[in-house]
Structure 1
Amino acid sequence: MNGTRKYAARPKRRSGRLAPRDLLPVLLLLPCLAWSPAWAGPESVSPGPAETEAVAAAALRPFPVIFEARHRATLSASRSGVLGSMKVDVGSRIKKGALIASVDSGEPALRRKRGELAVRHLNKKVAELTKLNKSGLATNDAVQTAIMERDLARSEIAIYRREIAVSAIKAPFACEVIRRHAQAHEWVTEGQPVVDVVSLAEIRAVANIPSHIAVRLKPEMTHEFYVNDLDVEVTGTVAAITAEVDERSNTVRVVWKVAADGHRLLPGMKGEVRLDG
């Protein structure tokens, strides 16, 4: 050896450019990559029914409601007197027109009877005077006076009959007694409350809804209500939208007619309704 050191041959350095033969596999794969689902954006995937329902539910806002009866009344005494009888108690269910209580009507009844007797007598008197007048034995003034007395007696009888009629306190509709203000044999004055009654046949839901949401509501629109006290959901339809905005709260009073669906939905119960906010 002559002392000259030999080195292994180094590989040739490749330039940064790709040769055409290197691009061929990439070009062949491009159509496949363009149609691959992995390249599809999220907007191209249609949401399913469950996802759509969840998004719609998330957009709803809850609003508190209170349930009330459409028909309720405080029945009062129409005349002063002793409450002679009380046919019902709290919780009693009553048919329309049934007797609830009555104020003693003994004195008006006696006056009516006396008036009826007076009318009978005056009828005979008028008949006799009319006969005598035809014979010239009674004046026209006497006949007219007797007729006037008879008409006054008949008017008094009508007044007494009305007093007797209003002595009875009757149910104005099919209802249930929820409160008593007086007991039997107590003295009551004209206009004094005797019982509170309510009808459970038609229950309404009432809520104060922001005006910008209330203006989008229409009569007969259907909404779902959750009843806190019963832990159930019921359906209601819009019955009325008050044509006035409360200046302080900027809300509108909305009323729904609620279908109880067999649940004992009582006035005063609370719940919520979800509306698109």
Structure 2
Amino acid sequence: MGVVFCCSAMTAQAAGPQVQSAATATATAQRAMPPAPVSSLSSGAPALAAVSSAGRPDDDGRIRIQLVARDQVDLSSEISAKIASMPLRDGDAFHTGQMLVSLDCSLYAAQLHKAQAEAEAAVQLKRVNDRLAQLHSIGQIEVDEADAKAKASAAEVAYMQATVRKCGIAAPFDGRVVKRSASAQQFAEPGKPLLTIVDTSHLELKMIVPSKWLSWLKPGHPLTVNIDEVGRAYPATVARIGARVDPVTQTVDVTAALSGRTPELLPGMSGWAKFADAGR
């Protein structure tokens, strides 16, 4: 490296003052140039910058929020059967206890009747053997066998009754249908989703706030939420505060609950939250 520098300097001197000045300027610029960044750090810098801006309030101290449903469920069958009826479509509303899916359970109903008949016969046999045992006409073994058979028959009846009760799927809450994954006359397999439903009557607000707000932000703190899609403001209160602080962004998750009924709001809507006391 020393030889190359010497030769370059001599060449520049021989070429004249203009070339020498250019060589000197180039060497000075190279010495002033900072070292090239490591590729892993440069590739992660944009992502880190994006993450660090999460939960940062705007100039007015507002925080971006999103509406989410407290409950969203994928309904599926617990038994194998053909779908007899599925009347609701995407977007339809329903009430708690309303039948959402009905299955064709004629086969299971027949098995239940058979089990009930066998259970009645087993009970009669047990009564007869108990009477004969009082007369010392049969041994204890026959009495115990009749008693065990009666219990097994009763258990079979209970099993078939539970199976038949699974032939209909009722709504667990008030809500709306998000997506139909099957139709009537199709065969339902255990565990395969049939309907996706969401509870639209209990919406929550999800937001990310600076962790320094924990000095004054507590559950029950009031706030006002402006929803973009409907252009209205709604009162709300802080319901829960996250259990940990993100050490990179210095933020924490916060969940708030709306006050009163808001049938016009839907999960997925978004807006801005303004806290009553900005104690920041």
- TM bracket (short chain): 0.7 to 0.9
**2:65 alignment partner in structure 1:** 65
Q: Please say if 1:254 is aligned against 2:239.
A: no
Q: Distance in 2 between matches of 1:238 and 1:247?
A: 22
After superposing the two structures, state which structure 1 stretch, 249-258 or 259-268, moved more.
Answer: 259-268
Alpha carbons 1:83, 1:104 under 8 Å: kept: yes
Letter aligned with residue 98 of structure 1: Q
Q: For 1:126-154, what per-residue CA distance to the aligned partner results, in whole angstroms no more than 9, with x for missing partners?
A: 22222222222211111111111111011
Aligned pair in 2 of structure 1 residues 271, 214: CA closer, same or farther (>3 Å)? farther
In the alignment, the residues of structure 1 paired with residue 258 and residue 212 of structure 2 have an alpha-carbon distance, to the nearest angstrom, of 23
- For these two proteins, the number of residue pairs brought into alignment is 220
Question: How far apart are residue 92 of structure 1 and its match?
Answer: 2.4
Distance between the aligned counterparts of 1:147 and 1:62, measured in 2?
72
In the superposition, the TM-score normalised over structure 1's length comes to 0.74
The aligned residue for residue 48 of structure 2 is none
Check 1:164–1:261 CA distance in 2 against 1; reply closer, same or farther (3 A cut).
closer
User: What are the residue-to-residue correspondences of 1:188-199 with 2, within 5 Å?
Assistant: 188-199=188-199
SS in 2 for 1:176: strand
What is the aligned partner in structure 2 of residue 77 from structure 1?
77
Match of 1:103 in 2: 103
**More divergent stretch after superposition (127-136 vs 166-175):** 127-136
Note the alpha carbon deviations across 1:28-79, whole angstroms, 9 max, x for none.
xxxxxxxxxxxxxxxxxxxxxxxxxxxxxx9742221101122332222122
Residue of structure 2 equivalent to 1:167: 167
Map of 1:232 onto structure 2: 232
Q: Give the Å deviation of 1:86.
A: 0.9
Aligned counterparts of 1:243 and 1:119: Cα–Cα separation in 2: 55
SS at structure 1 position matched to 2:111: helix
Letter in 1 for 2:101: A
Correspondence list, 1:89-128, <5 A: 89-128=89-128
Q: 1:95-133 CA distances to partner (integer Å, 9 max, x unpaired)? A: 211111023222221111111111111222122222222
TM-score scaled by length of structure 2 = 0.73
Q: Which runs of 5+ in 2 are unaligned?
A: 1-57
SS of equivalent to 1:151: helix
Contact 2:201 2:263 in 1 (8 A): no
Paired with 1:133 and 1:202, the residues of 2 have a C-alpha distance of: 63
Q: 2 CA distance for matches of 1:105 and 1:215?
A: 59
| Comparing 230-239 and 208-217, the one that deviates more | 208-217
Residue pair 1:203, 1:260 contacting (<8 A) in 2 also: no
Taking the aligned partners of 1:168 and 1:214, their CA distance within structure 2 comes to: 47
Q: Is the 8 A contact 1:79 1:103 kept in 2?
A: no
Between the aligned partners of 1:74 and 1:252, the Cα distance in structure 2 is 29
Question: What amino acid does structure 1 have at the position aligned with 2:85?
Answer: S
Q: Which residue of 2 aligns with 1:202?
A: 202
Give yes or no for contact 2:225–2:233 (8 Å, CA) kept in 1: yes
Cα 1:248–1:79 change in 2 (3 A) is: farther
Distance 1:263 1:194 in 2: 25
Native 8 Å contact 2:82 2:187 kept in 1? yes
Q: What's the secondary structure of 2:235's corresponding residue?
A: strand
* Cα RMSD (Å): 2.0
Give identity over the alignment, percent. Answer: 22
CA contact (8 A) 2:209 2:254 kept: yes
Greater C-alpha radius of gyration? 1
